[in-house]
Amino acid sequence: MPGSSYDLSRSLTRLNMLVSGTALVLAGVAFAAYDLFTFRDYVVHQLVAQADLTAANTEAALERSDQAIAAGTLTALGRSPDILSARILTETGQVFASFDRATDAAAPPHIAIPAGRLEQTLVTMRSVAVARRVVVRGAPLGTVVILSSLHSLYARLQRYLVIMAGVLVASLFAALLVSRLAQRAISTPLVQLADVARRVSNERDYSIRAPERTGLSFEVQSAIRSFNEMLGQVQARDRSLQAARDQLEDRVRRRTEELDVTNRELEAFSYSVSHDLRAPLRHVVGFASLLEQRAGGSLDDRARAYVKTITEAAQRMGQLIDDLLAFSRMGRASLTPEQVNLGRLTSEAKAEVELDAAGREIVWTIHPLPTVYADPALLRLVLVNLLSNAVKYSGTRPVAHIEVGSTPQPDGSTLIYVKDDGVGFDMQYSAKLFGVFQRLHRADEFSGTGIGLANVQRIVQRHGGRVWAESELDRGATFYVWFPAP
């Protein structure tokens, strides 16, 4: 795209200009610093030489106390435009002769010459001062002090900066031209590569390839070639995934058809069980009743007990068939989840369970319960089974206590519990608790078919939840039901 080409070209130009400009500035600063320090040392050396010459020319004037000759010697220093002022001091520090370039020129500073030395130099940002002893036949007669400005140094620096700025501008212009020429071999292939990557990302078409051209750098060619190879691998993998997806869809379709056939067969089997098995049971119950009516007077107590046992067994068999069919349909029933008020649903289940507990004293404790996202009909069946279970197994207590509540969960899920103070069970057999027809107590102790808790587990699992129980023998049991966050 033109915009991406322009952005890349501008970025490369800025980078080249920045690198070139930085290198030139650093080199210029290094050369300027070297030249300035060298030139300053040269200025100091020249001023020391002038101080030596002046000291030699004033030896005779100091010996004869001839101030005119000394002043003439200092006046000769005025030929150097950088010298501001000069003084010849006696050994006692009195000014013997002086020279000032201007009336307001600053006097040379007082410079202490260390013992054993003939001269001392003082360098500041704006000036250089040199003090030179005048010694005649081993005896010091005075001191020559010269003050010189560094104007020539700064003038040299200014000229250097002007030259460096000109060189910098010319070099940057040349770098700009070279950068523009080099971008044709670098930015254009990269922009084309970026455009191809964008097309592949937007269109999901892995058959597109970046154009390969001759004359490109090895790195750019390697990048384009590697990108094309990657696209080829992705394309081959995409084809394999598509083939696998097609096979999976076909397999799912065939398995769905097989599942539909199986479901229809199960429906037919359920109908057969419901019709064919119920008829013999009805016959057993009916003929047992007829036998009892016909020969009731001639039957002794044991025979009547036999007839009663036959009738109750047939009725129990019918109940088992009904529960088994209900359990089978539970796995195929469709879910219609919605927001369900657990408190109201628990009250309805409690009212239904209390009909079977007429005449018993039960203390109910139902705490405030939350709202859950579930199928209300199936959830009602869960609560009815759990409350019926609590009522049944607390039947040995003169006053039974049943508690229903919930525990807040930090992840937004729902945990409810149903607790009773009944006979409980041994936890080592808890794995059998939710199995079909699995009972932890004898049938003569507590009635039931062993289907209720299996239905509870199947319903809860279909909602994505879990159910478990905790108990101790003769100390009651607590059943927990957990539903995930909606």
Q: Which domains does the chain have, with CATH numbers?
A: 2-158 (3.30.450.20), 239-332 (1.10.287), 336-483 (3.30.565.10)
> How far does CA 334 lie from the centroid of its chain?
40
pLDDT of residue 394: 87
CA angle 210, 216, 219 (to 5 degrees): 80
Residue 391, both tokens: 């009522």
338: helix, coil or strand? strand
Here the tokens at position 255 are: 């398995």
Cα–Cα distance for residue pair 374/57, rounded to 1 Å: 118
pTM metric for this prediction: 0.42
Q: What is the pLDDT of residue 3?
A: 47
CB 77 within 8 A of CB 55: no
| Structure-token match 């936890």, residue found | 427
CA 448 – CA 433 distance, rounded (Å):
13
Distance, in Å, from the CA atom of 161 to the CA atom of 313, rounded to the nearest integer, reads: 117
User: Residue 1: its pLDDT value, please?
Assistant: 44
Residues in contact with 230: Cβ distance below 8 Å, sequence separation at least 6, in sequence order: none
Q: Calculate the dihedral angle through the C-alpha atoms of 108, 109, 115, 116, rounding to the nearest 10 degrees.
A: -30
Count of beta carbons in the 10 Å neighbourhood of residue 456: 24
Tens-digit pLDDT profile for the chain (486 aa)? 444 445 556 676 777 778 877 888 888 788 888 878 888 888 888 888 888 888 888 888 888 888 888 888 888 888 888 888 888 888 888 888 888 887 766 778 888 888 888 888 888 888 888 998 888 887 888 898 988 888 888 888 888 888 888 888 888 787 777 776 666 656 667 667 777 777 777 877 777 777 776 666 666 677 777 877 887 788 788 888 888 888 898 888 888 888 777 766 666 666 666 556 666 777 777 777 777 777 766 777 777 777 777 877 776 666 666 655 665 565 556 678 899 999 999 999 998 888 877 778 899 999 999 999 988 888 888 898 899 888 888 888 889 999 999 988 888 899 999 999 988 888 887 777 876 555 555 555 555 556 778 888 888 988 899 999 998 888 889 999 999 987
Q: Phi, psi at residue 132, to the nearest 5°?
A: -130, 125
pLDDT of res. 363:
92
User: Could you tell me where the beta strands, DSSP code E, fall in 108-264?
Assistant: 119-123, 127-136, 139-149
Task: Write out the H or E segment, with its range, that includes residue 339.
Answer: strand 338-341
The beta strand positions in 137-244, using DSSP E, are 139-149
User: Tens digit of pLDDT for each residue in 250-298?
Assistant: 888 888 888 777 766 666 666 666 556 666 777 777 777 777 777 766 7
- Whole-number pLDDT of residue 466: 92
Question: Quick one: what percent of the chain has pLDDT higher than 70?
Answer: 81
What pLDDT, on a 0 to 100 scale, did the predictor assign at position 219? 67
Parallel, antiparallel, or unpaired: how do β-strands 399-408 and 361-366 relate?
parallel
